[in-house]
Amino acid sequence: MALPLSYHWRNLFVRKATTALTVLVIAAVVGTFAWVIGFVAALNRALSVASDPRKIIVLQRGGTSETNSAISPEEFNRLTQLTDVERDPDTGRELISPEMFWQTQLPRVRDGGATRANVAVRGVTEMAFLVHRNVRPQGATISTGLPEVIVGLSAAKQFSGLNIGDTLRLGFAENREFKVVGYFSADGGPMESEIWAYLPLLQSAYGRTGYSAASLRLREGADPAATIAQMAGAAIQLSGQTEGDYWRSQSSMVRIYQGVCYVLIGMMTLAAMFSIANTMFATVAGRTREIAMLRTIGFSGGQVLRGFMLESTLLALLGGALGCAACWAWLQFVGHTKDMFGTSTFTAMAFDIRMTPVIVLISLAMVAVVGVLGAVFPARRAAQTQVIRALREE
Amino acid sequence: MSGADIELKDVRKAYYKDRLEIPVLDGLDLAIRSGEFVVLMGPSGSGKSTLLHLVGGLDSPTGGSVRVGEARLENMNERELTAWRSRHVGFIFQMYHLVPVLTAAQNVELPLLLYRMSSGERRQRVTTALDVVGLSDRMHHRPNQLSGGQEQRVAIARAIVTDPDVILADEPTGDLDARTSEEILNLMNLLNSEFKKTILMVTHDPKAAQHGERIVHLDKGVLHREELTAARAGARA
Judge whether residue A84 has pLDDT over 90. yes
**DSSP per residue, A341-362:** E-TTT--EEEEE----HHHHHH
Q: What is the pLDDT of residues B15-42, one digit of tens each?
A: 888 888 888 999 999 999 999 999 999 9
Minimum distance, in Å, between the CA of residue A375 and any CA atom of chain B: 21
| B99 touches A at CB < 8 Å | yes
Q: Closest Cα of chain A to B87: distance in Å?
A: 8
pLDDT at B214 exceeding the cut of 80:
yes
Amino acid of residue A90? D
Distance CA B153, CA B150 (A): 5
What is the share, in percent, of chain B residues with pLDDT greater than 90?
78
pLDDT value of position A339: 66
- Return the DSSP state at B137: G
Q: What does R_g of chain B's alpha carbons equal in angstroms?
A: 18
Average pLDDT, chain A: 88
Provide the CATH number for the domain formed by B6-236 in this structure: 3.40.50.300
Render pLDDT for A120-149 as a digit per residue (tens, 0 to 9). Answer: 999 999 999 999 999 999 988 888 888 999
Nearest-CA distance A191 → chain B (Å): 59
In 3D space, the residue among A217, A356, A199, A384 whose CA is nearest the CA of residue A291 turns out to be A384
Residue of A10, A297, A300 with shortest CB distance to B91: A297
Pairing of strands A348-352, A148-152: unpaired
At A185-216, the pLDDT tens digits run 998 888 888 999 999 999 999 999 999 999 99
Cα separation, A218 vs A227, in Å, equals 8
CB-based contact B113 A392, cutoff 8 Å:
no
pLDDT over 80 at A51, yes or no? no
Q: Which residue has the higher pLDDT, A143 or A358?
A: A358
Interface test with B, best of A9, A288, A293 (most B CBs within 10 A): A293
Question: For residues A122 and A193, is the Cβ–Cβ distance under 8 A?
Answer: no
At residue B95 the predicted structure's pLDDT band, cuts being 50, 70 and 90, is confident
In angstroms, rounded to a whole number, what is the distance separating the alpha carbons of residues A24 and A318?
9
* CB burial of residue A260 (10 Å; 0-12, 13-18, 19+): exposed
Closest Cα to residue A85, out of A93, A75, A74?
A93
DSSP A216: E
Distances (CA, A) of B193 to B37, B133, B176, B200: 9, 14, 23, 14
Average pLDDT over residues A242-249: 85
Burial of A53 (0-12, 13-18, 19+ CB in 10 A): exposed
Comparing B232 with B118, the larger pLDDT belongs to: B118
Q: How far is CA A318 from CA A137, A354, A364, B102, in A?
A: 46, 21, 9, 21
Complex prediction ipTM:
0.90
A294 chain-B contacts, CB cut-off 8 A: 110
With contact defined as beta carbons under 8 Å apart, do A26 and B118 qualify?
Answer: no
Give the pLDDT mean for A243-270: 82
Q: Is A332 on the interface with B (CB under 8 A)?
A: no
CA distance linking residue B48 with residue B218, whole number of Å: 7
> For testing the chain A interface, which of B87, B97, B175 should be mutated: the one with the most A CBs within 10 Å?
B97
pLDDT top residue among B66 and A3: B66
Q: Is the pLDDT of residue A394 over 80?
A: no
Q: What is the mean pLDDT of residues A66-76?
A: 92
pLDDT at A228 over 50: yes
Query: What is the average pLDDT across A42-60?
Result: 82
Q: Answer positive or negative: Cα dihedral of A67, A73, A74, A78.
A: positive
Distance between CA B194 and CA B216 in Å, rounded? 23
Q: Kindly determine whether residue B95 and residue A290, on different chains, have CB atoms separated by under 8 Å.
A: no
The whole-number average pLDDT for the span A137-164 is 90
- Distance between CA atoms of residues A3 and A338, nearest Å: 46
Q: For position A345, what pLDDT does the model report?
A: 52
Q: Closest Cα partner for B110 from A303, A120, A20?
A: A303
Domain extent listing, chain B: 6-236
pLDDT band for position A177 (50/70/90)?
very high
* A222, A141 Cβ separation under 8 angstroms: no
Residue A34 CA to residue A322 CA, distance in Å, equals 11
Q: Give the model's pLDDT for residue A343.
A: 45
Residue B137 has pLDDT above 50, yes or no: yes
At residue A349, the pLDDT reads 66
Q: Give residue B111's identity as a one-letter amino acid code.
A: P
- The arithmetic mean of pLDDT across residues A274-284, rounded, is 91
Nearest residue on chain B to A3, judged by CA atoms? Answer: B113
Assess contact for A215 and A132: CB atoms under 8 A.
Answer: yes
Q: Given a cut of 80, is residue B233 above it in pLDDT?
A: no
Share of chain A above pLDDT 70, in %: 95
**Per-residue model confidence (pLDDT) at position A145:** 81
The percent of residues in chain A predicted with pLDDT above 90, rounded, is 57
3-state secondary structure at position A107: strand
Among the partner residues A1, A7, A289, nearest to B97 by beta-carbon distance: A289
SS (H, E, C) B65-94: EEEECCEEHHHCCHHHHHHHHHHHEEEECC
Helix (H) or strand (E) holding A310: helix A301-334
Contact B102 A10 (CB under 8 A): yes
Q: Nearest-5° angle of CA A62, CA A67, CA A70?
A: 55
Helix (H, G, I), strand (E, B) or coil at A35: helix
Average pLDDT over residues A163-171: 93
User: In this predicted structure, which of A225-239, A314-328, A334-348 has the lowest mean pLDDT?
Assistant: A334-348
Confidence of residue A335 (pLDDT cuts 50, 70, 90): confident
Nearest CA in chain B to A292: B97
Mean pLDDT of A380-394: 86
Over residues A164-178, mean pLDDT: 91
Tell me how far the alpha carbon of residue A123 is from its chain's centroid.
26
Tell me if residue A110 falls in helix, strand or coil.
coil
Per-residue pLDDT band at B197 (split at 50, 70, 90):
very high
* Res A338: pLDDT: 66
pLDDT surpasses 60 at A246:
yes
Residue A320 — φ and ψ, nearest 5°?
-65, -45
A387 interfaces chain B, CB cutoff of 8 Å: yes
Cα separation, B93 vs A371, whole angstroms: 34
A339 versus A57: the higher-pLDDT residue is: A57
In this predicted structure, the answer to whether residue A58 has a pLDDT above a threshold of 70 is yes
